Amino acid sequence: MVGFRPKDLVGYLQGLSLRRLLPFLTWWHLVTPKNLRADVFAGITGATIGLPQGVAFAAIAGLPPEYGFYSAVITAILAALFGSSLHVVSGPTTAISALVFGALAGTLEPGSPQWIEAAITLTLLVGVFQLALGLARLGALVDFVSHSVMTGFMAGAAMLIALSQIRHTLGISLPRPEETVEFFVGLYDNVGLFDWRSALIAFVSLAVAVVSKRYFPRSPNYLFGLLFGSLASFSIQGHENGVAVIGAIPSIFPSFQMPSMHIGQMGDLAPAAFAIALVGLLEAVSIARAIAIKSGQDIDGNQEFIGQGVSNTVGAFFQCYAGSGSFTRSGLNYEAGAATPLASVFAAIFLLLILIFVAPLFAYVPIPAMAGVIMLVAWRLIDFRELLHIIRTSRAETSIAFITFVSTLFIDLEFAIYIGVMLSFLIFLNKSAHPFIGIGAPDPNTKHRVFRNSETNGLNECPQLVFVRMDGPFYFGSVEHVRRKFREIERKRARQKHMLFMVKGVGEMDLPAAELLIEEARRRKRRGGSFHVQAKQVAAIKRLNRFHVSEALSTEHVHTSKGDAIAEIVPTLDQEICATCQARIFRECPPAPADFLTDAENAEAAIRAPQAERQPAA
């Protein structure tokens, strides 16, 4: 690197605090005997649900079960030690598993050595992207991605996951669900050839998982589903009649192994890896924030990025596939009373201990039973309540969710993420380019004459002065919208030659916005009126001075409050018009002639007059 010196690196490393390099030092003081007991209990609870999820999610990713276990152990430990959340549990997740499958499907055979090699390389790239974003302190990046993107993507991914398990559920051969038309044609042609044993096993597994979750919500319902599905297969001699089983698991202990770093393959996988990295970060940070609302913990988004990046980067060297924060396991971890991230570490250790005794039994678990469990996972991935909420409240967010959903089903999983993010940015830019412009007037029914929207509240306006309020950013992107509103006001309110422009976001004003204010001031001056600006913040006044707005308008036309502005403007209005005006909406308005007062106002004035005469002089 040109200009790089070794002491530059030394200086950078010295600038990093030990707590940032080893973030677990920030919560280590919480490790007390009481909290340690709570973490052990939460770890045992988490291990029971991590076992069936590891198998199911690995199957979704097209990988053998052991790779789900590797990710549930290594990824969970590293993310816990290097993240910022006390309760988030990382590992294999449904959405990430679906994305891994989508990134590799079509070019490789699921479960093949080439597929596994590519999945590990993909994980390495995902971790590198996440780590780079975290070190660059771009933790706020996820704030700009609409929640509707994730909602639509999750629904689409869930549909693909469920469709992918139909062939195992019915015991028939079908095209991949990504080939939507071919898939449904194949299903129509072959549905009559289904294997009743496979269908029965899948139904038993699904039903038991649903019922156990309904009546025993804390139980490992996925594990119960697999157990009863296996018993159903044994009772009807499923394996002897051709029902496929998972088979023996070679090893439950992850070992160090260098990922493939073929340049061509890494280049092909890079776009999908970035999409997976983004989704993984969205999942992890969203879960961390959701739980932090309950626990009261402060979340460092950048550190969460780093934690996820470290877990996937290092995990790739221990045969893990891409993982992220798990909402189910994280929520269970918090509800079980976890006090520190050691609960995740204990869960990983207990999972290994359980696997020593249980892993050999997975050789007899029928694949239709696994398919039934995965279909339940897919169903729960769809947030129907959130979808209905989006549809009822926002057309823009509904369009984002719908387009992301359709893109997930009919185009490509990672493309769906990209197009959803692009739509979010476009809608954000469109909203920022169209700030709210309203006409205000003082409400006489309030004690301090609070300004409200005059059109919606039916308030009287001054015939010479119009109050224009803008809520939103005032920059080059919104200048044309504001200019059009100025011209519209000029046409519709030709008699109101004076304007007070009240801006909340003027602190972020740029040069084109400043030029528009000067332009409007000149137009109104040519028409015999005046243009005033009200800005409350000191930073806003400085910005007006910097762009010479105060100089062009004169300092008398720049105000920090509406009261000062009204006191300054009212005496400059055409007094002949004021003399015949019946609105009288300002306290600064000159007294109205008796001829224009109503009977009630005359009576009130008559009552006040003697009282005023009796008041001693000030």
Q: Encode pLDDT of 187-198 as tens digits.
A: 888 888 888 999
End of a domain among 427, 462, 482?
Answer: 427
Q: Judge whether 227 lies within some domain.
A: yes
pLDDT for 339 beyond 50:
yes
In the numeric block, which tokens belong to residue 602? 């005359």
CB-CB contact of 474 with 508 (8 Å): yes
Q: Binning pLDDT at 50, 70 and 90, where does residue 182 land? A: confident
pTM of the model: 0.69
Q: Judge whether 389 lies within some domain.
A: yes
Going by the DSSP 8-state scheme, the letter that residue 89 receives in this structure is -
> Average pLDDT in the 152-162 region?
83
Residues 374 and 463 in one domain: no
> Average pLDDT in the 127-150 region?
80
pLDDT for 346 beyond 50:
yes
Quick one: what percent of the chain has pLDDT higher than 70? Answer: 90
End of a domain among 368, 398, 427?
Answer: 427
Please tell me the predicted confidence (pLDDT) of residue 615.
43
Q: Binning pLDDT at 50, 70 and 90, where does residue 506 land? A: low
Residues 333 and 449 in one domain: no
Please tell me the predicted confidence (pLDDT) of residue 510.
84
Residues 327 and 452 in one domain: no
> Average pLDDT in the 380-402 region?
86
Q: Judge whether 144 lies within some domain.
A: yes
* Helices within 108-220 (DSSP H only): 113-135, 147-164, 166-170, 180-190, 196-215
Q: Judge whether 8 lies within some domain.
A: no
Longest Cα separation, the chain: 111
Residues 419 and 440 in one domain: no
Residues 56 and 123 in one domain: yes
Residues 411 and 512 in one domain: no
Radius of gyration (C-alpha) of the chain in whole angstroms: 33
Residues 304 and 390 in one domain: yes
602 is in which domain, residue-wise? Answer: 436-611
User: 424-427, long-range: CB within 8 Å, 24+ apart, which pairs?
Assistant: 424/144, 424/145, 424/146, 424/148, 424/149, 424/400, 425/144, 427/146, 427/396, 427/400
Please tell me the predicted confidence (pLDDT) of residue 507.
53
Residue 579: helix, strand or coil by DSSP?
A: helix
Domain count, the chain: 2
pLDDT 10s digits, 50-94: 777 888 889 888 899 889 999 999 999 999 999 888 889 999 988
In the numeric block, which tokens belong to residue 553? 């308008």
Please tell me the predicted confidence (pLDDT) of residue 605.
45
Q: Binning pLDDT at 50, 70 and 90, where does residue 536 land? A: confident
pLDDT for 592 beyond 70:
no
Please tell me the predicted confidence (pLDDT) of residue 255.
86
Going by the DSSP 8-state scheme, the letter that residue 74 receives in this structure is I
pLDDT for 400 beyond 50:
yes
Q: Judge whether 332 lies within some domain.
A: yes
Residues 330 and 467 in one domain: no
pLDDT for 345 beyond 90:
yes
When the pLDDT of each residue in the chain is averaged and rounded to a whole number, the result is: 83
> Average pLDDT in the 461-490 region?
90
Please tell me the predicted confidence (pLDDT) of residue 114.
92
Most confident of 344-353, 417-426, 582-591: 344-353
Residues 86 and 167 in one domain: yes
Q: Judge whether 26 lies within some domain.
A: no
Q: Judge whether 15 lies within some domain.
A: no
Q: Residue count of the chain, please give it.
A: 618
> Average pLDDT in the 196-218 region?
89
> Average pLDDT in the 517-534 region?
90
pLDDT for 158 beyond 70:
yes
Q: Binning pLDDT at 50, 70 and 90, where does residue 25 land? A: confident
Which domain CATH number covers 493? 3.30.750.24
Residues 319 and 454 in one domain: no
End of a domain among 374, 409, 427?
Answer: 427
Residue 281: helix, strand or coil by DSSP?
A: helix
Q: Judge whether 54 lies within some domain.
A: yes
Residues 357 and 315 in one domain: yes
Q: How far is CA 404 from the centre of its chain?
A: 14
Residues 442 and 353 in one domain: no
